[in-house]
Structures are given as structure tokens and as C-alpha cells.
Structure 1
Amino acid sequence: MPFKKLHPHIKERLEYLEIITPTPLQRNSIPVIKSGVNVYCLAPKDSGKTTTLILTTMQKLKCEAVGNAPRAVVLVENKEKALELYETFLTFTKYNSLRVYVGHEQLHIDVQKSEIFEGIDILISTPKTMNKLFLLNGVSTSQLKILSVDDAEFLSQQSDYAAIMSITQSIDRCQYVLYSEKMQSKLKRFESYFMEYSKIVTA
């Protein structure tokens, strides 16, 4: 079954990248994520979690730049993962107007604040950097539609757990999608906070 009901630009890029058939996880998760509910996507490595994250983020933002404040945030464990995901995003956002920005601990926070202020659509960051930006009024979440976490297992580390709890308490309303190989007790605990009424999707 080919990818259906996705933005024409996404379908065009998938075709160009020769990604024709969705993985079982993509088939199961994309319609659920598109519905707007909070979702735990649980599947083994190499089952298409990161591509799902990118496609659903682009779909949510309708593949076009709007305003200045980020409308999507993607949290990852560290600088290496942030840069890797940024490069992957660019292969999909090429030829549309979406502006993707990557932040991490090694990049001075004032630089990040001024660059984000110029206007972005998708912010890729680590929880600690995102929280620091938040506390310094370096990023607005007033337009935020979706917050995703790639390979969310790292949130079991106390500093990252505390950072995401702080971030989510300051966000009025948005959709949350967590991608992980399996459900961990700390991830499950988020159901009592920002992952209320969430659905679990597996491959």
C-alpha cells in the first residue's frame, strides 16, 4: 500500500527518495498521529520511527513556513543526534518553505536566541537546551502544534526527565508524540502529566 492522504509535497519527496511502501509502524501510526491525539510509537530499531516523525511533522505544518515562532519541536538526546536528524529533515524539506533549525548545548544560547528570533518552523533541540531557551524567553511556544521526542528512552535520565517536565508544564496546548523501542516506566508516567488520553501504536 503506498502512502496515502499526505501532503502532495511529501508524496513527491517520498517518490524521489524511492520510499514507496510504508513500514508496518508507519501504516499503523501515521493516521493516528494525523488525528491529533497524543501517541506513544513503540517499535524496534529500523522500523521507520524517524521517518514517521519527519513525515507527520511536515504534514502537521502543511509543508509551508508561517510566522516566526516554531510550530513543531523535536527533542533528541544530544548534539550528534540533533545534527543527524537535521540533515535527514533537510532531505525531505528541500524545495518547500519550511525552516528547520537545530540547537544544542555546544552552541551559545544567545546565538540560538537571535537565530530563532529570525523565524523558524521546526526546532530540533535537546531537552536541556530547549528548557534553557524557555527560561531565558528565547523561544515562544504560542504557535506550537506538535512536540515529538525521537528515541525517547533517554528521558529516563533524571536531568532530561526534569527538563521535559519543565518544558511541558509551560506549554498551553499541543500534540505530543514519543518514539521509543519499548515502553519504560518513566515514559508511562508521562500519562499523568502531558501524555493524557494517549494512544499506543506498535509495528
Structure 2
Amino acid sequence: MKLKKIDEKLALALEENGITEPNEIQKDCFGTLKSGADAVVIMADSGGKSTTIVYTVIQKLEKAEGESTRAVVIVKDKEEVLEMVELFKKFGHYHNLRVFGVHDKGDIDYDKNQISLGMDILVGTPNKINAMFSSAGFNMNTVKLFIVDDADELFRARMDAIVLRLSTSIEKTQRVFFAHALTERVEAMADKIMIEPVLFGLEEYDEEAEDENLYI
């Protein structure tokens, strides 16, 4: 994939999975996400949202390190957990990053045991991740990248309080929201937990909304 200064092995893995050319939003946000700045990325599912999340995390973490979780990716349901974990395995083929997925229907004791063995990336639903870190006493301060996917849908479902609780338990991290639309809840949460977030994809969304007569 042709992105400036992308990890060569990551680029190769993406190309092997048919992803060779980034779209405009991916090109615009790559440098900022790589730099560690907070951001809100507005992107359709068909626009490579999950792919962008996965290669951003792999690019940032590079390799397995330590025992504690370094990236948390919050998604809306079990199906999204499984799909995201599978993408990490595909695109992280040439890296040794350890990834694990948790969801509301899983066994919490089993999940905690797996994470305690050493984990780089944790993908999960808001309720499950909150329950795990609340009950197990995991150190959230090792989390260097805190990503919320489908933020507009999760916040509309009143999951913003959980995201806020998790975010405030981390002293210093990069916070990124991915959403289909820049809703008032997304803006409000970004203002609460992010430091001067950079916004991407709004122009593309506005054009799509105008074409389809949609409103935020």
C-alpha cells in the first residue's frame, strides 16, 4: 500500500490482501495517526474504516512487547470483534503482535487468563472491556492507543459513559474515534477526552449526505 513511510512488511501484507492504493481519507489521516495525535475520522464502512484502524495499530506498535495491553480497540458487537481480530491476523502476518478479542457472550475468566499471558492488542465491546479492567485490576496506563470504532452508533446507544470511564483511567494515550457521521455526541466526547483532535473525512461525508439528502 502506497502510504508515506508505512512499514514495509505491513505494506506487503496489505498488498497481498488486495489493498494497494489508499483512498483520500486514508492518505490524509495516515501521518497524523502515525504521529500520535488525537483524531476523529469520518469514514463509511465501504471506505476502508476497519482496514485503517488495523494498519494504524500495527504501524504504531510494530512488534510484541511486554505483558500488558498497549492498544485497545472498542467495537460495537461480537461480529465486529471477530472481524477485526481476523483483519489483525491477516495484515499483521509479518509481525508478531499478540491480539485477542472479547465480547459480551464470552467467558470473562477465560478472557482474563488469556490477557494475563501477555497481549499487545485488545479488541472488544464496551461492556466487556469495562468489566474486565474493572474487576481484574489491569494496568490501563500501558495503553498507548485507544480507538473507538463506530463511535456515532456506540454513543447513540449510551455507551459514551463507559468510553469516558475507560479513557479517564489512562494517564496518557492517543485517542481516536472512527465514525460514519460527526454527531453531537461524537463532538462532545472528543471535546471531553481528546487534546486538540484533528478531524478527517468531513468534506467527503458532507458531499455524500448532500447527494443522498441525509442529515446528521
Normalised by the shorter chain, which TM-score bucket? over 0.9
CA contact (8 A) 2:77 2:125 kept: yes
Matches for 1:51-130 after TM superposition, within 5 Å: 51-62=51-62, 64-130=63-129
1:149 is matched with: 148
Compared CA separation, residues 92 and 55, structure 1 to 2 (3 A): same
| 3-state SS in 2 of match to 1:10 | helix
Is 1:170 matched with 2:176?
no
The TM-score with structure 2 as length reference comes to 0.88
Which shifted more, 9-18 or 161-170? 9-18
| 3-state SS in 1 of match to 2:81 | helix
RMSD, matched Cα:
1.5
Tell me the CA shift for residue 95 of structure 1.
Answer: 3.3
Tell me the CA shift for residue 42 of structure 1.
Answer: 0.7
Compared CA separation, residues 95 and 43, structure 1 to 2 (3 A): closer
Which shifted more, 53-62 or 139-148? 139-148
State the structure with bigger RCO (CA 8 A, min sep 6), 1 or 2.
1
Q: Which has the higher helix share?
A: 2
Unaligned runs of 5+ in 1: none
Tell me the CA shift for residue 162 of structure 1.
Answer: 1.6
| 3-state SS in 1 of match to 2:13 | helix
Aligned residues: 202
Compared CA separation, residues 45 and 156, structure 1 to 2 (3 A): same
| 3-state SS in 1 of match to 2:66 | coil
Tell me the CA shift for residue 144 of structure 1.
Answer: 1.0
CA distance in 2, matches of 1:25, 1:192: 22
CA contact (8 A) 1:30 1:56 kept: yes
Tell me the CA shift for residue 156 of structure 1.
Answer: 2.0
CA distance in 1, matches of 2:163, 2:50: 19
The TM-score with structure 1 as length reference comes to 0.93
CA contact (8 A) 1:3 1:20 kept: no
Unaligned runs of 5+ in 2: 205-216
1:112-158 Cα shifts (integer Å, max 9, x gaps): 11110000100001111111111112532222110111221222245
CA contact (8 A) 1:113 1:139 kept: no
Tell me the CA shift for residue 159 of structure 1.
Answer: 4.2
Tell me the CA shift for residue 43 of structure 1.
Answer: 2.2
